[in-house]
Amino acid sequence: MRTPQPKGARAAASNANSEKKSFREQLGALKNLPKFFGLIWETSPAMMLGNLLLRLVKAAIPLAMLYVGKLIIDEVIRLIAVTGERDLSYLWLLVAVELGLAVVSEIINRGITLLDSLLGDLFSNRTSVQLIEHAATLDLAQFEDATFYDKLERARRQTISRVMLMSQVFSQLQDIVTIGFLAVGLVAFNPWLILILLIAVIPSFLGETHFNERTYSLSRSWTPERRELDYLRYIGASDETAKEIKTFNLSGFLANRFKLLSDRYYNLNKKLIVRRALWGSALSTIGTLSYYGAYVFILFRTVAGAITVGDLTFLAGSFSSMRGLLQGIMTRFSQIAESAMYLQDLFDFLELRPEITPPANPLLVPRPIQHGFTFENVGFKYHNSEKWAVRYLSFHVKAGEKLALVGENGAGKTTLVKLLARLYEPTEGRILLDGMDLRNYDLNDLRHQVGIIFQDYVRFQMSASDNIAIGQISDIQNKEQIKASAQKSLADLVINRLPQQYEQVLGKRFANGMELSGGEWQKVALARAYMREAQLLILDEPTSALDARAEHEVFLRFSELIAGKTAVLISHRFSTVRMADRILFLEQGQLKELGSHEELLAKGGKYAELFLLQARGYL
């Protein structure tokens, strides 16, 4: 059993140390940027180019405005000094240019915001799709691993928050160009001013870098806890859990658990934010002092007549905006480096490869299957467990045979069928299909030829029609086939009663959805098995919520309707199980008995004992 809190806390502490990122590592994370921009470029080259062009033009505007401002002031002073007739046309021309620049600047700003948000949305949608597609290629076992889930969680966040990174990097480039322009003016006047400028901003930059790295470490080491918080928030207020939360009166328990965990995070984070605020204030004071030092210097030079009042405003203006820009660039730099580190999580996730892979020269599943499936001494351990879930399994399922799996809870029935569908790889032994190892077959073809309806099948909050089509999604438009499948599983009786029939959205999540009973849902899910043109059908207790008569009828139909196909059924109802050709009795992961209902009864073993108990109504 996992004990999340102490383990999480230990992990948090050790991660914080091992994940402490140095400045060099932050710089290293920037190597992710070209790949990131590659993805943005693929999203829309036109928008990316347009964005960059607009920003380039925008970068030149501050210098132009400051310079025109200087000319205006010098002209005003000149005009004041002139006696007699004054010609104001040059002044008005300058004012018109300044006005024009202001208007253009505003329009460009709007254009940049527009492109940023459109490109951002496109990028985020594209990455989300990529994430869904990639997740589908991974192994089931990977999804059962907590560290994998953390990675997935971080990657999922990236698809949305990394959109910010794009505009940050673009703004960074824009500001660097602007500074380049302004610096030319400043250097022309006095190169020392640039030095003072650097002294003003470097301390803040180092402070920001340090605190960003701390924030990243904290947030990263807390991923498992954040996932737990999300989970608690979800189960604390969700339609799926509301019933039990109310009847068991769990809200206090959940709220407390949430509060304990969130308070710990809040306190750690608070310490960091407060220290950041204090250091930030101290370091930016150094910046302000050096700025005013430079200002006083420029004032002296003006009073001494070395420069004009226009020069004064130009220099003070460029100095002030360069300071703002440099500070912005440096703060943004550490944010960009931090985001780039997070970006690593997204790329790491996209780099994950499944362990179950198709062979170099995959075989297609024989059509039809001739001999069937053979288990040769198969054993399997879940990766997070030392215990053998199943072991020493050796048996043969003939092509066209209906095999029932029985056994107590945890005996290994579901594990066995997952191995059969190659959702997991046996830890030892092998499974053969028509004499060839399952590993030699094309994975997609194999998955096509095997249809499974699990006991924990998904209740998709979509239309009844889509819920059935899930069994063979390529036939989603084939309404006839969907209806025929529904008739076979008896779901049509349920669906015909719904207000919008096959187009009726099922479940309670959406406003127009209709909830079904457990048994009704199972009939809909069962129809998925009939959608599939699979040669092996596996039903893992898909009828447990049906009443006894409905289950009997469903299985009778099932046997008739899939005549010729191989089927593996799992059920705890012996009246259903006896309809199978043979029954495999599992106990603690091992095969105990195998034979027809009559044979096993005659044997008088465990199966016979349980069957008789159930027949007498004790089970």
Ligand X SMILES: Nc1ncnc2c1ncn2[C@@H]1O[C@H](COP(=O)(O)OP(=O)(O)OP(=O)(O)O)[C@@H](O)[C@H]1O
Other CB atoms within 10 A of residue 117 CB: 12
Give the tokens for residue 172: 């960074």
Region of 93-101, 288-296, 354-362, 382-390 interacting with ligand X (CB under 6 A) = 382-390
Nearest-approach distance from CB 414 to ligand X, in angstroms: 3
Distances (CA, A) of 616 to 577, 601, 606, 619: 16, 15, 16, 8
Whole-angstrom distance, CA of residue 442 vs CA of residue 358: 6
Nearest-approach distance from CB 616 to ligand X, in angstroms: 21
Q: Which of 382, 392, 395, 460 binds ligand X (CB under 6 A)?
A: 382
Cβ–Cβ < 8 Å for 381, 387? yes
Whole-angstrom distance, CA of residue 257 vs CA of residue 260: 5
571 lines the binding site for ligand X (CB under 6 A): no
Nearest-approach distance from CB 577 to ligand X, in angstroms: 13
Nearer to ligand X, 380 or 521 (CB): 380
Closest by alpha carbon to 194, among 185, 207, 204?
A: 185
- The DSSP bridge partners found for residue 583 are 404, 595
Nearer to ligand X, 314 or 424 (CB): 424
Nearest-approach distance from CB 455 to ligand X, in angstroms: 6
Nearest-approach distance from CB 338 to ligand X, in angstroms: 35
144 lines the binding site for ligand X (CB under 6 A): yes
Identify the sign of the CA torsion 162, 164, 33, 224: negative
Q: Which of 8, 207, 224, 407 binds ligand X (CB under 6 A)?
A: 407
426 lines the binding site for ligand X (CB under 6 A): no
Mapping DSSP to helix (H, G, I), strand (E, B) and coil, where does residue 50 land? helix
372 lines the binding site for ligand X (CB under 6 A): no
Q: What is the DSSP letter of 514?
A: B
Q: Which of 413, 459, 483, 573 binds ligand X (CB under 6 A)?
A: 413
Q: Which of 158, 204, 414, 576 binds ligand X (CB under 6 A)?
A: 414
384 lines the binding site for ligand X (CB under 6 A): yes
The amino acid occupying position 122 is L
Q: Which of 411, 419, 433, 546 binds ligand X (CB under 6 A)?
A: 411
Other CB atoms within 10 A of residue 112 CB: 21
Q: Which of 324, 359, 368, 410 binds ligand X (CB under 6 A)?
A: 410
Residue with tokens 């059924």: 569
Q: Which of 179, 389, 450, 600 binds ligand X (CB under 6 A)?
A: 389
Whole-angstrom distance, CA of residue 443 vs CA of residue 140: 14
State how far Cα 109 lies from the chain centre: 32
Q: Which of 385, 474, 477, 512 binds ligand X (CB under 6 A)?
A: 385
Nearer to ligand X, 73 or 423 (CB): 423
Nearest-approach distance from CB 110 to ligand X, in angstroms: 53
Helix boundaries (H) for 352-400: none
Give the tokens for residue 124: 């985020």
415 lines the binding site for ligand X (CB under 6 A): yes
Give me the residues that bind ligand X (CB under 6 A), please.
144, 382, 384-385, 389, 407, 409-415
